[in-house]
Chains A and B, each alone.
Chain A
């Protein structure tokens, strides 16, 4: 169950925003993409999910379990999205539908892809709510998004991604909008769930410290190109490319250090 991206380029209105990007997410791996705003990391994620905005031009190859995804029609894509791969978004507030109960939103993928309905769907919703650590799982499934805190909403977003039992989870800055204590809970949860289910994870972030917590391998994107990639431990201890070094240096300037500033 691996994802192989090869020579992928994305152009929007004639501007090349992702330039010949290639990488692999092997089965069970946790890979991070790191870069600043505008580096092309979110677009790369959207391209994999087949969710690029209209007018974006895609070239190159995205192979999922040996199958080419670039060039598939929406009809051919739909069965893959939600069932084989699912996405978690940055803003749990806007990613959820405000007028639908969270239980129904969590189980949508299971309903569409696996025909889970009625009592089975209700039971699944409660199970998912429990898996992602929501309080009182039996009752919270009947709540609306506005009745939940930001962290709880993100847990609903994660549950919704898990419902289709995907083997790849793409998470685009899932903790950026959250407080640090909440962030820790979500990262621990995500890592645990991915491991339990033998799924692989592609995690997009601008935060090196978050990357260090969640990913084993990472790519550094800058202006649409991969400038460096490898094991996260190595990237953080011996960064080779000036961009990586710059990111690390600047992150350290505002980084919390238990021992005090050096």
Chain B
């Protein structure tokens, strides 16, 4: 068994519901009920659920972008304090790379592709030949020689390749994808999925994939976590959970997916 790279213990997140009248008592609504999660180095874990299930809230907590109401997230044995300063969190940012859903919203239109992809290297103070590294990862994602160009010159799929290059440029140990394929056409989606898989294997990266697309998770992840209404209702090896779902919600979810 390989070492545990990420662990969440009893992690919860509450959000206050807005008051409808001035004198009403504040009510608390849960975005996430206690979640326990153990991710081993090199594994790939998929978090599936529908809108409002809390999967993105969980992703934000794992990435150290949000502070849990209770519980602890540990990355490589260190507790994550999302409230710490950017400098104090550098170790965490170095350990993680993220690809977001919207390839149009996640790239700064005024920055060249080279700067976008190289930004983590500068921001994290990683030395060495930075432009060489940027050229290298862009070539790896199939976009060699585009450093001087700007995001608007690229299609959605190419932009997602750029986002992937940025996510791996600093050689993170964990790659987090929050619906990285959802905005793409099916042919492009298959290409990006393959690329993601290849890179992950080559670099021995751990993958955490947040997705509402169960087909994607089935094709990529060894383990799966099923969420609904802020609850983890089922988790385990992908073939077990998807092949033999036990929780009524998982069963209902799988039965609803159209097949060919």
A: residues with CB less than 8 A from B are: 36-37, 150, 179-184, 187, 206-210, 212-213, 236, 246-261
Contact = CB atoms under 8 A, between A and B. Distances in A.
Nearest to A178: B51
A37 B103 CA distance: 15
Interface of B: 50-51, 156, 181, 185-187, 189-190, 193-194, 212-216, 218-219, 239, 242-243, 252-260
B258 A250 contact: no
Contacts, number: 93
A181 B218 contact: no
**Interface core residue of B185, B186, B194, B257 (most chain A CB under 10 Å):** B186
Contacts of B257: 180, 209, 256
Nearest to B219: A261
A208 B260 contact: yes
A210 B259 CA distance: 8
A254 B239 contact: no
Nearest to B50: A179
A246 B189 CA distance: 12
Nearest to B215: A256
B185 A37 contact: yes
B51 A150 contact: yes
A181 B250 CA distance: 11
A256 B185 contact: no
Nearest to B185: A36
Contacts of B189: 250, 253-254
Contacts of A259: 243
A251 B243 contact: no
A212 B258 contact: yes
Shortest beta-carbon contacts, A-B, top 9: A209-B258, A179-B50, A256-B215, A250-B190, A184-B256, A253-B190, A181-B256, A36-B185, A250-B187
Contacts of A36: 185-187
**Interface core residue of A37, A182, A184, A254 (most chain B CB under 10 Å):** A254
A256 B254 contact: yes
**Interface core residue of A206, A250, A252, A259 (most chain B CB under 10 Å):** A250
Contacts of A209: 257-260
A258 B187 contact: no
A253 B253 contact: no
Contacts of A249: 190
Given A180-B258, A254-B193, 11 more contacts: A36-B186, A37-B156, A179-B50, A180-B50, A180-B212, A184-B256, A212-B259, A252-B260, A254-B186, A256-B242, A258-B259
Contacts of A180: 50, 212, 214, 253, 256-258
A247 B219 CA distance: 17
A261 B218 contact: yes
Contacts of B255: 184
A254 B242 contact: no
Contacts of B218: 256-257, 260-261
Nearest to A35: B185
A253 B50 contact: no
B241 to A, nearest CB: 11
Contact of B50 (A181, A246, A252): A181
A206 B156 CA distance: 16
Contact of B187 (A150, A181, A207, A246): A246
Contacts of A252: 260
Nearest to A39: B185
Contact of B215 (A179, A187, A246, A255): A255
A212 B187 contact: no
Nearest to B214: A256
Nearest to A209: B258
B186 A181 contact: no
A150 B215 CA distance: 22
A179 B212 contact: yes
Contacts of A182: 50
Contacts of B243: 258-260
Contacts of A253: 189-190, 193-194, 219
19 contacts: A36-B185, A37-B156, A179-B212, A180-B214, A180-B257, A181-B252, A181-B256, A183-B258, A184-B255, A187-B258, A207-B186, A213-B258, A250-B189, A250-B190, A254-B190, A254-B193, A254-B219, A258-B254, A260-B239
A212 B260 CA distance: 6
Contacts of A256: 213-215, 218, 242, 254, 257, 259
